[in-house]
Chains A and B, each alone.
Chain A
Amino acid sequence: MNAENPWSALVLGMAVLVTGLPSLALASRGGRFRALPGWSGFWVFFALLLLILSRVTHWISFPLLGLMLLGSLREYFYLAPLRPKDRWSILFAYLSVPIALYAVVLDSFGAFLTAILVFLFLILPTGISLGERQKGLLDSMGRVLLGLLVFVFCGAHLAWMAHEPIGHVELFGVLVILSEFPQRVAGRFRLGEGALRSWIGMLVSFVLAAGAGAWFAPAIDVAPRMGLIAGLLVSTSVTAGGIVTAAVAYDLSLSTQSARLGRAALLDRITPTVYAAPLYYHWLNHFA
């Protein structure tokens, strides 16, 4: 394990702790607060995974990330069933995880993009369209493509971050935690009743993430202004991820409660996080 820049790990640990303790305290209030301890528990493991990605050899960290992505895909396909004839496309979707991660190991973004795009837009639709005709083709295809976009394309960007200097992955973790916590406490973005509270939550999350980004960035050799923008981008992506999760949960007839505490809880916790990975990675990699 690389001991360089050890305090970035400490900051991530502190972020988990600082949000974890109020989560436990708030849980007894019920309602939307009930899901907070589960979210904090998820972050204990996820922060560990981020640290492993940042500091341990790819031959260990990537398989672990791959297992997490496969697990998420498995949960997703359980909740969003396809037509019986599409079960082969689920296997192909699983197969795309090691392919994407192998492209990251090769450190070739071109190979990664080609593999993902060709797979998503050319091979998979053909595979789903083959065989006997059954109604629901477009719906089925949409389900597969969304799963792959979130859990393979976005998820694999966590692996790309591992190529960056130590501290980048930890900063990502800190920014996502600080973006998510206020939004979860105030309730997810919504219109109509309770909108004001969710807007306040969003505003707080933007301020916290931008502030943390600006403060933490110099420690990883990034200008504070760039860190601030990274914080804003992560907050925006986390909000977008939350909106997508809520819409998918509605489409699958999952109540908000079951989406947060039941089978779909993993998706509710992981989707906003992986949703933020591509924007953050490309911002720091190409502009900062």
Chain B
Amino acid sequence: MLPLCTTIGSITSRNDVRRRPIRDLLLILCHVVIVRPVLAMLGVRYRRRNLVPRGPCLVVANHNSHLDASVLLTLFPLARVPRVHPVAAADYFGKSWLLRTLSMFLMNAITIERKATLGGDPLGSVKGAIHGGESLIFFPEGSRGQAGVVAPFRQGVGRIVREFPGLQVVPVFLSGPERIWPRGQVVPVPLSIDANVGKPRTYPHTMDSAEIAERVRRDVLALAPPPAPVPGPRPAPPFRVAVCGVDPELRRETFLKILERLGRIEHTVGISDPLLEADDRGVHEPVRGIAVARSGAWVSAAAWMLRTGGLHKGSKFAEMVERARIDGAFDHGRSARFLVGNGNALVDVLAWAEAEFYNGAFDEREMLQLVQYLTGKRRIPARQWWRFLRRAPEVWLLNQLDLVRPPVPDVIVLLETPPADAMAMIRARGEELQRHHNEAFIGKLQEAYGQVAKLLQKRHRVEVLGFDTAVSDADSIAAALDERCRERLAQPDATGSVNS
């Protein structure tokens, strides 16, 4: 037995340069014969695996199972596996000869001490590997923890990032391993695995380690899918409030006030750029993950090509799509009680279409058709394509490319500003005047918002609260809405959404 151990030990030893080719070959063989077939059987699905860089990188993921490292190793092509090392805890994997050999040989791991030792650098081996141009798989939580819970990240990841400023960090969120083989279970249960890969990024080395660790954690959590529904009653969808009006500054001011007020009642998310979160501590950027993150480059390109205009010109159209997707992703009702939108994709597109496409000539039947096109209930007939492509390309894009189905809000806060006042405010801010910045169009748009709101009120039971901005300020509007939301929540049949 002893000679066998010595032989395996010498092969698995990374320090033995002469035997490295043999070790690499055995490692690749082991992955071809055991690791990858087992994971293929489990059914690993990768999202955006192509984002893993070809050069050295630090893959950072949540950690709930012994399977995590194997899954992350499969992100790399086989030829690169010998140069990728999961970082393992020395106190756990160094406990016995068997564990040590398994982790070193099957997983190609390098070990670190979780507790600092006097005079030694616990991250020494990690830093050495990065200096050598190798890639690392790092679990900053430190241990597997409770299944399905992402614990705070330790500062080690921040220290590595600070030491290697250009190092690419690849956030990955794993779901599935925590149900297959959670901590404390002996037998794994075959289920599927999802590995959601995020864009590689670098972090400024000027930040302190704790701050970097928190940023990395947020980037990992941003890739988390909405939690899977567990047996039991389903939570109500969030209560959606859309703040609409012709003046963006007034809208934003009111949006922030409402967000702050509703955040005091229950957890609230603000759909704007950037995404905001509000709770007892006030309004801040989200510390939890936001479920949807997609690249909008091709959407912008399509919008530029089809010449979308006004509020949804080019990249602004892609931003609107992204915001509507995020809005929709909260439908499961587990992440927020209130969703407040700085504008609303459905209402904005409808109002602009009404003002531009129909030139203010309101026709309820046509508008209802538009609502159906936008909510994906009907397709624009081919014979009408040219008309839409020419006059309202954003409606055509949303409908034909199935980009997003904007959710209908529960309450529309309509800010009514006299056109002359709106123009005066635009001029006072010194903004560059756009084609649509004139009193006639703003008046038409204002009217269109009113008509769209009435239509949604009539057909979708949306509650509309109109405020004259000359009389009501943002505080009083937020207070009125706060009161209305509390009333709605107090109703015994309040399910959160009248549209559900």
Residues of A within 8 A of B (CB): 30-31, 34, 70-71, 74-75, 77-79, 81-84, 87-88, 90-91, 94, 135-136, 139-140, 143, 193, 251-253, 257, 263
Docked complex Cα distance between A252 and B226 (Å)? 12
Name the CB-closest residue of B to A73. B190
Query: How many A-B residue pairs lie within 8 Å, measured between CB atoms?
Result: 64
Closest CB-CB distance, A90 to chain B, in whole Å?
5
Within 8 A of A (CB), among B14-56: 42-43, 45
Docked-complex contact B402 and A31, CB < 8 angstroms? yes
The 8 Å CB contact of A135, one of B43, B192, B232, is B232
Within 8 A of A (CB), among B162-200: 176, 179, 182, 185, 187, 189-192, 194
Specify which chain A residues have a CB less than 8 angstroms from the CB of B433 in the assembled complex.
none
Specify which chain B residues have a CB less than 8 angstroms from the CB of A30 in the assembled complex.
379, 400-402
Given A75-B192, A78-B192, A252-B229; A84-B187 close (CB under 8 Å): no
Docked complex Cα distance between A94 and B43 (Å)? 15
Specify which chain A residues have a CB less than 8 angstroms from the CB of B229 in the assembled complex.
81, 251-253
Given A30-B402, A193-B377; A78-B176 close (CB under 8 Å): yes
Docked complex Cα distance between A88 and B185 (Å)? 11
Q: Which 9 A-B pairs have the closest CB atoms?
A: A139-B231, A136-B231, A78-B192, A87-B189, A81-B228, A78-B191, A90-B189, A140-B231, A136-B232
Specify which chain B residues have a CB less than 8 angstroms from the CB of A31 in the assembled complex.
376, 379, 402
Residues of B within 8 A of A (CB): 42-43, 45, 147, 176, 179, 182, 185, 187, 189-192, 194, 226, 228-232, 234, 331-332, 376-377, 379, 400-402
Specify which chain B residues have a CB less than 8 angstroms from the CB of A252 in the assembled complex.
228-229
Docked complex Cα distance between A253 and B331 (Å)? 9
Specify which chain B residues have a CB less than 8 angstroms from the CB of A84 in the assembled complex.
147, 179, 182
User: Interface centre among A75, A94, A253, A263, by most B CB within 10 Å?
Assistant: A253
Closest CB-CB distance, A257 to chain B, in whole Å?
8
Closest CB-CB distance, A143 to chain B, in whole Å?
7
Docked-complex contact B191 and A90, CB < 8 angstroms? yes
Docked complex Cα distance between A42 and B187 (Å)? 32
Docked complex Cα distance between A193 and B378 (Å)? 10
Docked-complex contact A83 and B231, CB < 8 angstroms? yes
The 8 Å CB contact of A91, one of B179, B187, B226, B230, is B187
Name the CB-closest residue of A to B178. A84
Name the CB-closest residue of A to B181. A87
Name the CB-closest residue of A to B401. A30
Docked complex Cα distance between A74 and B42 (Å)? 8
Can you offer 12 A-B residue contacts whose CB atoms are under 8 A? A34-B402, A81-B228, A81-B230, A83-B231, A87-B179, A88-B189, A90-B191, A136-B230, A136-B231, A136-B232, A263-B192, A263-B194
Docked-complex contact B232 and A139, CB < 8 angstroms? yes
Name the CB-closest residue of A to B190. A74
Closest CB-CB distance, A31 to chain B, in whole Å?
6
Docked complex Cα distance between A135 and B332 (Å)? 20
Docked complex Cα distance between A74 and B179 (Å)? 12
Docked-complex contact A74 and B379, CB < 8 angstroms? no
Name the CB-closest residue of B to A250. B234
Closest CB-CB distance, A137 to chain B, in whole Å?
8
Docked-complex contact B230 and A74, CB < 8 angstroms? no
Docked complex Cα distance between A78 and B229 (Å)? 11
Docked complex Cα distance between A77 and B43 (Å)? 13
Specify which chain A residues have a CB less than 8 angstroms from the CB of B231 in the assembled complex.
82-83, 136, 139-140, 143
Specify which chain B residues have a CB less than 8 angstroms from the CB of A90 in the assembled complex.
189, 191
Docked complex Cα distance between A194 and B190 (Å)? 40
User: Interface centre among B147, B194, B229, B331, by most A CB within 10 Å?
Assistant: B229
Specify which chain B residues have a CB less than 8 angstroms from the CB of A70 in the assembled complex.
190
Docked-complex contact A94 and B190, CB < 8 angstroms? yes
Docked complex Cα distance between A75 and B331 (Å)? 23
Docked complex Cα distance between A241 and B315 (Å)? 43
Specify which chain A residues have a CB less than 8 angstroms from the CB of B176 in the assembled complex.
78
Closest CB-CB distance, A28 to chain B, in whole Å?
11
Docked-complex contact A83 and B179, CB < 8 angstroms? no
Docked-complex contact A83 and B230, CB < 8 angstroms? yes
Docked-complex contact A253 and B185, CB < 8 angstroms? no
Given A84-B182, A94-B190, A263-B45; A253-B234 close (CB under 8 Å): yes
Name the CB-closest residue of A to B148. A84
Specify which chain B residues have a CB less than 8 angstroms from the CB of A71 in the assembled complex.
43
Specify which chain A residues have a CB less than 8 angstroms from the CB of B401 in the assembled complex.
30
Specify which chain B residues have a CB less than 8 angstroms from the CB of A88 in the assembled complex.
189
Docked complex Cα distance between A177 and B201 (Å)? 47
Docked-complex contact B192 and A74, CB < 8 angstroms? yes
Specify which chain A residues have a CB less than 8 angstroms from the CB of B182 in the assembled complex.
84
Closest CB-CB distance, A58 to chain B, in whole Å?
22
Closest CB-CB distance, A217 to chain B, in whole Å?
38
Specify which chain A residues have a CB less than 8 angstroms from the CB of B187 in the assembled complex.
91
List 12 additional contacts besides A30-B402, A257-B402; criterion CB under 8 Å: A31-B379, A75-B192, A77-B191, A78-B192, A81-B179, A84-B182, A88-B189, A136-B230, A136-B232, A139-B232, A193-B377, A263-B192
Closest CB-CB distance, B330 to chain A, in whole Å?
12
Docked-complex contact B185 and A87, CB < 8 angstroms? yes
Specify which chain A residues have a CB less than 8 angstroms from the CB of B226 in the assembled complex.
253
Specify which chain B residues have a CB less than 8 angstroms from the CB of A83 in the assembled complex.
230-231
Docked complex Cα distance between A143 and B402 (Å)? 32
Docked complex Cα distance between A210 and B154 (Å)? 65
User: Interface centre among A30, A70, A78, by most B CB within 10 Å?
Assistant: A78
Docked complex Cα distance between A83 and B189 (Å)? 13
Name the CB-closest residue of B to A81. B228
Specify which chain B residues have a CB less than 8 angstroms from the CB of A91 in the assembled complex.
187, 189
Docked-complex contact B191 and A74, CB < 8 angstroms? yes
User: Interface centre among B147, B176, B189, B331, by most A CB within 10 Å?
Assistant: B189
Docked complex Cα distance between A31 and B377 (Å)? 10
Name the CB-closest residue of B to A254. B229
Closest CB-CB distance, A45 to chain B, in whole Å?
15
User: Interface centre among A83, A84, A94, A135, by most B CB within 10 Å?
Assistant: A84
Specify which chain A residues have a CB less than 8 angstroms from the CB of B376 in the assembled complex.
31
User: Interface centre among B176, B228, B332, B401, by most A CB within 10 Å?
Assistant: B228
Docked-complex contact A75 and B179, CB < 8 angstroms? no
Specify which chain B residues have a CB less than 8 angstroms from the CB of A193 in the assembled complex.
377
Specify which chain A residues have a CB less than 8 angstroms from the CB of B43 in the assembled complex.
71, 74-75, 78
Name the CB-closest residue of A to B231. A139
Docked complex Cα distance between A88 and B45 (Å)? 24
Specify which chain B residues have a CB less than 8 angstroms from the CB of A77 in the assembled complex.
191
Docked complex Cα distance between A253 and B185 (Å)? 29
Docked complex Cα distance between A84 and B180 (Å)? 10
